[in-house]
Homo-oligomer: A and B are copies of this chain.
């Protein structure tokens, strides 16, 4: 598919949808991406650029001169232009901004002034807002006459004299009404407004909860300054959920197009934190070296207790992290959830304790060893259940993303307590 014969490449790529062309860039090797871009230069429309993976886009954009980037930015919606420019170096960013029309530059600079991952970065400044005194007919005429309005929009926002949103009208309602009906009789006053500094995760939850197609973004004075549409939100939801999985596993951003050095650094950082945890757990085992020398079977069985506790803790953790992320777990039901997890941990601990305790007793003809490992299993399951919910809930209270750091604490708890309860009980009962 690649190299030399760029006419042939062009022919093959031409019939594709922009989103498919963007995917193609991800599939070819890194060193072929620039070449591909050159072969299909005039197919590289703004739709393709907007659909590219962040890392791939950065590679291509950095290879382009500032005035070409500026030209692309001018054709994009504000939100897509911001997404393209926000990842550039400060210097390149300035160079591109300098090449822009004053009006576009002002819009993009304003968007860049809002915090990353906030509504201000997501919103588009292209929207339709009209006064409530208009009738359906006035609005239709207004839309037909004003060529500079956006071509694609799903709802019309109705504003008062201060440009504050007072209602929303789905286009289908407008199309189904006679021309003489005033908009204030058609519009819904029950609207969900998005403050410009709201975090994108919160914005996504609102869209999901109220099944929104688009929503008005307001500044601190309550004036309408932009709109967010659901197609951008779909990406956010996907991203935020993926983020939780990847962070829980300590895989950083985990994008497969990320430069490998960034990936190595992200994962190694996490592994080093876990190394400290592992050393801590191993030092607990160190306390019982004498017992292990006397009875090596303890060393054989101890990974079962710590490992099963780790699994149970991870189960609880995953459920709790998702429940927090989707606003299902709030102050008012935390206590109920803790009790629920404790009941589950007791049931699972008892079942596993009986199973492994019974098995050990039979296999090694040693009822005391069976009782010790069974009891340790019950204890460690309770530790796992408690840590699995208390750690993320506590981190969340302190406004720390529970997906990022919970796993380390939970594993530390289940590893150290697993070793300690099993080896400690073995020594206490005189088993070794």
Interface residues in chain A, defined as those with a beta carbon under 8 Å from any beta carbon in chain B: 17, 19, 23, 26-27, 29, 51, 140, 143-144, 149-154, 170-178, 190, 207-213, 230-231, 233-235, 237-238, 241-242, 244-246, 248-251, 254, 256, 260, 263-264, 267-268, 270-272, 274-275, 277-279, 281-283, 285-286, 289-290, 292-293, 296-297, 299-304, 306-308, 311-312, 314-319, 321-323, 326, 328-330, 332-333, 336-337, 340, 343-344, 347-348, 351-352, 355-356, 411, 415, 419
Contact = CB atoms under 8 A, between A and B. Distances in A.
Given A140-B175, A318-B254, A278 B307 contact: yes
Nearest to A304: B278
Contacts of A245: 241, 244-245, 248, 318, 321-322
Contacts of A336: 29
Given A171-B175, A208-B234, A293-B293, 16 more contacts: A17-B190, A19-B211, A140-B175, A144-B175, A154-B213, A249-B317, A254-B322, A256-B319, A256-B329, A264-B344, A271-B308, A275-B352, A278-B308, A292-B300, A303-B306, A303-B415
Q: Is the interface of A mostly helix, strand, loop or mixed?
A: helix
B344 A249 contact: no
Contacts of A51: 209
A19 B210 contact: yes
Contact of A242 (B140, B241, B246, B337): B241
Contacts of A275: 304, 308, 352, 355-356
B312 A267 contact: yes
A333 B234 contact: no
A190 to B, nearest CB: 7
21 contacts: A17-B210, A151-B173, A154-B170, A154-B171, A154-B172, A207-B234, A230-B231, A237-B241, A245-B245, A245-B321, A245-B322, A246-B322, A249-B319, A251-B319, A256-B340, A268-B352, A271-B315, A272-B355, A275-B352, A285-B303, A299-B299
